[in-house]
Structures are given as structure tokens and as C-alpha cells.
Amino acid sequence: MTYELEIQIEELRAELRNAVDGAERRQIEAELEIAQAELIVATTELDGLAEAEPPF
């Protein structure tokens, strides 16, 4: 899941570099913020799973 989000973030960054219209830039920036937040959540969840104690 995180790999796909990282790819999406890189694609959005590329789109943002090429965007000329202000409205388009704001739309891409909003999508980028959401994707970055989703990556943080996914990474935190994965870290929590890795640190959980094994079942008895």
C-alpha cells in the first residue's frame, strides 16, 4: 500500500511542477496533501503491526 502511495505522491509532484493554471495547482496541492497524509497513516499502521507483541 505504501509503495502505491509513494508513486502517487511522485506523480502529483510532477503534475504540480507542470501545472500553469492556479485552480489546477490548488487541486493538485490538495490531492498531494491527502496522499501524504494517507502515507503517514499507512506507515504508522505498519509500524504498529511490526512492534506488536506476537500472540501466545
Domains in the chain, number? 1
Q: Is 49 a residue whose pLDDT tops 90? A: no
Q: Is 52 a residue whose pLDDT tops 60? A: no
Give me the mean pLDDT over the 24-47 stretch.
95
Q: Is 46 a residue whose pLDDT tops 60? A: yes
Residue 42 in domain? yes
Q: Is 11 a residue whose pLDDT tops 90? A: yes
Give me the mean pLDDT over the 35-50 stretch.
88
- Distance CA(33)–CA(56), nearest Å, equals 40
Residue 15 in domain? yes
Residue 35 in domain? yes
Residue 30 in domain? yes
Structural domain range at position 23: 2-50
Residue 56 in domain? no
**For the range 37-42, what are the long-range contacts, defined as Cβ-Cβ under 8 Å and sequence gap of 24 or more?**
38/5, 39/2, 39/5, 39/6, 39/9, 42/1, 42/2, 42/5
DSSP annotation of 21: S
Residue 43 in domain? yes
Residue 55 in domain? no
